[in-house]
A and B are shown apart, each in its own frame.
Chain A
């Protein structure tokens, strides 16, 4: 009844959830406070401790979790009760499932069983990520509408227009990569980046810059956090949320950061590949562990390299978060429609011309 495939899939799902929800979400919450403190020459969270051991403030994540679990769940008067409850769920679920198509390692043969380190190897993987991330708009919009609060409604309105605009631009930024790799499957795209000179960022660094900016805007983080701008809208769309429902919005934001980093790694930074080391070369170097041992070691190294690159991109996102001030709302719209969109169209045309002319050899 229980086939090895089922166990394999369950193990991969558990790994992805442990990585995003279990590890990165609380740790990023801590990093956000600690890194901002370092960048602003403060000390930062260091009060929560057990018998005087504060573990550089890490216990604050635990203390926050305990506080939020036991906090009263409040629904304001006149709010749409059902939709008010549904909204955080609609925000967190897309964040959790978008990671399903991002490969966090390569393909390995363990004891005759072929393991492909991705939860779902879809032919349309790239489109799947965009489809799912477009759904996350609803959580925000419905939260704003259902709260019966003008600040929330304004936040929801801003979010729907902003996220919709940047979705269009973000979709166009990766078209050039699809033309280059001739595939929509993220597994195939990563497999084609074995050679360092075929990494997305080598030829397509303008697309990387555009995609990264769009992704941050899509995740509504500073400098694009107009939907929750605390100096104008209290807390925007989640003003009226408390307890675990608030945690869902909060976790969705951090998990989306991980997904963005994962997408960047898979599309532009070679996934699990180490520069100038081929899969065959890696297996050969690990030959001393025996055929299965070499595969296991290669798998562990691959996942480790992927997570390392993930952490680099998360650190970059955090640094952007605490460096730039918030853009004005009209500036955000102008940037999306009048700069990023035409630039990505220009890059698509340039890539097309370069591929036709044979200047840009495809892997």
Chain B
């Protein structure tokens, strides 16, 4: 059952990703990307990471993509434009090749360090309490650095707008 669901959602994710980069209109691409987020959330849920699944939908599908959509609508982009759109095939092939090349060493490193993961999750795995505890103890520094980075980006965005307004 779980394997079947995995292939179902993985398949949906792959097909929608392809549709996303192949679509002519930015809004269609955005809708496909939302679908990909959902499929990924389902995969997280299959891995017993319910918190991550909920956050995936809440943050990526619910917040970030809504902003994307807002910008696409504000600029009223009907079709892809510009230099990148004309050499689309080249850009896409290069992107896929680069990502694949990066993924292989990354995966090897990840398995080398921890060994293959066991299929049986520990009791509290993926619960809000467990993830929260890890975030605020073992991974406190990366967590704080990430929040500082986000804050810096926010301040930077506001500063850019302020410069333009003057």
Q: Is the CB of A157 within 8 A of B73?
A: yes
Chain B residues positioned under 8 Å from A142 (CB to CB): 27, 31, 69
Chain A residues positioned under 8 Å from B53 (CB to CB): 124
Q: Is the CB of B31 within 8 A of A156?
A: no
Chain B residues positioned under 8 Å from A131 (CB to CB): 54-55, 57-58, 61-62
* B128 in complex: contacting residue of A135, A146, A184, CB < 8 Å: A184
Residue of A nearest to B56 (CB): A131
Q: Is the CB of A138 within 8 A of B34?
A: yes
Chain B residues positioned under 8 Å from A138 (CB to CB): 31, 34, 66, 69
Q: Is the CB of B74 within 8 A of A134?
A: no
Complex CA distance for A86 and B128, rounded to whole angstroms = 33
Residue of B nearest to A127 (CB): B54
Q: Is the CB of A141 within 8 A of B69?
A: yes
Chain A residues positioned under 8 Å from B63 (CB to CB): 134, 164, 167
Chain A residues positioned under 8 Å from B74 (CB to CB): 157
Q: Is the CB of A156 within 8 A of B73?
A: yes
Q: Is A5's beta carbon under 8 Å from chain B?
A: no
Chain A residues positioned under 8 Å from B67 (CB to CB): 164
Q: Is the CB of B62 within 8 A of A135?
A: yes
* B57 in complex: contacting residue of A80, A86, A135, A160, CB < 8 Å: A135
Complex CA distance for A135 and B58, rounded to whole angstroms = 8
Chain A residues positioned under 8 Å from B61 (CB to CB): 131, 134-135
| Range of interface residues on B (Cβ < 8 Å) | 20 to 34
Q: Is A83's beta carbon under 8 Å from chain B?
A: yes
Majority SS at the chain B contact face? helix
Chain B residues positioned under 8 Å from A153 (CB to CB): 73
Chain B residues positioned under 8 Å from A211 (CB to CB): none
Q: Is B7's beta carbon under 8 Å from chain A?
A: no
Q: Is A123's beta carbon under 8 Å from chain B?
A: yes
Complex CA distance for A138 and B73, rounded to whole angstroms = 12
Q: Is the CB of B28 within 8 A of A83?
A: yes
Q: Is the CB of B73 within 8 A of A141?
A: yes
Q: Is B147's beta carbon under 8 Å from chain A?
A: no
Q: Is the CB of A124 within 8 A of B51?
A: yes
Complex CA distance for A212 and B27, rounded to whole angstroms = 32
State the Cβ distance, B135 to closest chain A Cβ, in Å. Answer: 15
Complex CA distance for A167 and B69, rounded to whole angstroms = 16
Q: Is A15's beta carbon under 8 Å from chain B?
A: no
Chain A residues positioned under 8 Å from B66 (CB to CB): 134, 137-138, 141, 160, 163-164
State the Cβ distance, B71 to closest chain A Cβ, in Å. Answer: 10
Chain B residues positioned under 8 Å from A124 (CB to CB): 50-51, 53-54, 128
State the Cβ distance, B133 to closest chain A Cβ, in Å. Answer: 13
Chain B residues positioned under 8 Å from A156 (CB to CB): 73
Q: Is the CB of A134 within 8 A of B62?
A: yes
Considering only residues 64-121 of chain A, those with a C-beta below 8 Å from chain B are 80, 83, 86
Q: Is B143's beta carbon under 8 Å from chain A?
A: no
Residues of B within 8 A of A (CB): 25, 27-28, 31, 34, 50-51, 53-55, 57-58, 61-63, 66-67, 69-70, 73-74, 127-128
Given A157-B74, A164-B67, A167-B63, 20 extra CB contacts under 8 A: A80-B25, A123-B51, A124-B50, A124-B128, A127-B51, A127-B128, A131-B58, A134-B57, A134-B62, A135-B57, A138-B34, A138-B66, A138-B69, A141-B73, A142-B27, A145-B27, A161-B70, A163-B66, A164-B66, A167-B62
CB pairs A–B below 8 angstroms (8 shown)? A80-B28, A83-B31, A130-B62, A134-B62, A144-B73, A157-B70, A160-B66, A161-B70
Residues of A within 8 A of B (CB): 80, 83, 86, 122-124, 127-128, 130-132, 134-135, 137-138, 141-142, 144-146, 153, 156-157, 160-161, 163-164, 167, 184
